[in-house]
Amino acid sequence: MAIVGLAIFSILISACASGSDPVEPTAAQEVGPAGGEGGEHGEDEHEPEEHMEGAHDVPDVAAAVPNPFVGDEESVAAGARLYATNCAICHGETGEGDGPAAPGLDMPPSDLHEGHVQENSDGALFYIISHGKPDTPMPAWDNVLDEDERWHVVSFLRTFQED
């Protein structure tokens, strides 16, 4: 049993620190890659106005997508379970960026209570969860969690919002 637990822990740590390129987005989110240096646009295939300033280079079209589960307590509960299984290893049980894998990462995970996270739209959070964040240990989760599951995580992340 200890070996199985160690294997799962190793897989989760490698997922947090993989830094791998995201896989193809779902049809609903096929809006281009996250990333770019400071919002600059080199040889990418979209226009500069498709990006929101200060929103982790999330395209406007993705940031504008509404959460289909807003206000749904079952979604929040499902998101809490998914978060505990997939996200807490890096972000910590309470979302403060202090999970057990955090000390081994090249950069600390985001504190999910902070403004730079909570000021994002639900669509932007969904995009970041789906595609990861380039040049950080935050991996893409669209190849692990289905679309509804990623929205449930967004619903749960909103419980970290400070009034």
pLDDT digits (tens, 9 = 90+) for 83-120: 999 999 999 999 999 999 999 999 999 999 999 999 99
What is the pLDDT, as a whole number, of residue 2? Answer: 44
State yes or no: pLDDT of 8 exceeds 60.
no
Residue 129 has pLDDT above 80, yes or no: yes
Q: Is 24 exposed, middle or buried (0-12, 13-18, 19+ CB in 10 A)?
A: exposed
Evaluate the CA torsion angle 22, 28, 33, 38 in order and state its sign.
negative
How far is Cα 163 from Cα 142, in angstroms, rounded to an integer? Answer: 30
Tokens of 151: 């929205």
Is residue 61 predicted with pLDDT exceeding 80?
yes
Domains, the chain, in order of start with CATH, read 2-35+51-160 (1.10.760.10)
b/e for 41-66, b at 16 or more Cβ within 10 A? eeeeeeeeebbbeebbbbbbbbbebe
Of 25, 149, 4, 2, the residue nearest 87 (C-alpha): 149
Q: Average per-residue pLDDT in the chain?
A: 78
The per-residue pLDDT for 163 is: 57
- At a CB cut-off of 8 Å and minimum separation 6, what does 126 contact? 29, 62, 65, 67, 150, 151, 154
Q: What is the pLDDT of residue 57?
A: 87
pLDDT at 56: 65
pTM over 0.75: no
pLDDT reading at 38 higher than 50? no
Mean pLDDT of 17-25: 41
What is 18-68 written as a DSSP string?
--PPP-PPPGGG-S--S--STT--SS-SS-GGGB-TTSTT-BHHHHTPPPT
Average pLDDT over residues 136-157: 98
- Please state the length of the chain: 163
Does the pLDDT at position 58 exceed 80?
Answer: yes
**CA–CA distance, 92 with 80 (Å, rounded to integer):** 12
Residue 162 pLDDT level (bands cut at 50, 70, 90): confident
pLDDT (0 to 100) of residue 128 = 98
